[in-house]
Amino acid sequence: MTVRKKYNALGRGLDALLSTEAVRTAGSSTINEIPLDQIEPNADQPRSLFDEDALKELAVSIHEIGIIQPITLRQIAENRFQIIAGERRWRASQMAGLKSIPAYIRTIDDESVMEMALVENIQREDLNAIEIALAYEHLLEQTGMTQEKVSERVGKSRTAIANYLRLLKLPAQVQMALQKKEIDMGHARALLALNSPSLQLKVFKEILKNGWSVRKVEEIAQHLKNGDDIEDGKKKIVAKPQLPEEFNQLKDRLSSFLQTKVQMTCSSKGKGKISIPFNNADELERIMMIFDQIKQQ
């Protein structure tokens, strides 16, 4: 079973920013083959983390069938180009041993580069919450755009943008955990209901220690706002039944095997369920390939 990605590679927001007309330069055409060693990443690229396993899988695909979607570049000097969109494809092409890559060459000003890279990645949902928040903050500070203007450009509501920006007010430890996906954005938003950074950190440590759900963090936060301490708040919430130790061991083994965090619930009668979360289509396809391999054995 293979999961195929079905999304518009550039998205409506980026289409509005990128001209589809050919850029008239010496010997150029709509799509150009550009040597990989003449290309450099954009320092303002909003995505800073690249999954190594996903890159290797993409490299194998590129080695077998080549680049399907050209990357987008701008020329910054003679025989030097900077990536606007497609750094992941550029990195995977290097791993695949390619010498050149098909690319669109666009003429844009510096202020537009961050905007276009942000739109492309948000459309593909490749960024984690902190990367998106930092990119929004950069757009607001560097271009002077209002939140309303950013909202129009990236196709997201002003409320959504404001919620991302609020994440940058959390303690650094919480932001790093969110970036590493040790907690969800729902957890982070629940912590924002608490005005004290020290209290946010205390609840954050309880989340990591006890694996609290977003709902439970919201309830704890409400009790804390009402004047309770954490222990009193915990006592007032009906705790979920804890998994038997042997079930925890099985859950850990399954998580290790699938290389993702597996969730498991179990009632006192031994009835329960297993859920396998995934962050994007690439990760889902990787998980399904593992099941396909088991089935063939």
Residues taking part in catalysis: 87
**In the numeric block, which tokens belong to residue 11?**
């998205």
- In whole angstroms, what is the distance from residue 266 CA to residue 105 CA? 55
86: nearest Cα among 41, 129, 53, 56? 41
3-state secondary structure the chain: CCCCCCCCCCHHHHHCCCCCCCCCCCCCCCCEEEEHHHEECCCCCCCCCCCHHHHHHHHHHHHHHCCCCCEEEEEEECCEEEEEECHHHHHHHHHCCCCEEEEEECCCCHHHHHHHHHHHHHHHCCCCHHHHHHHHHHHHHHHCCCHHHHHHHHCCCHHHHHHHHHHHHCCHHHHHHHHCCCCCHHHHHHHCCCCCHHHHHHHHHHHHHHCCCHHHHHHHHHHHHCCCCHHHHHHCCCCCCCCCHHHHHHHHHHHHHHCCCCEEEECCCCCEEEECCCCCHHHHHHHHHHHHHHHHC
204: nearest Cα among 160, 171, 234, 180? 171
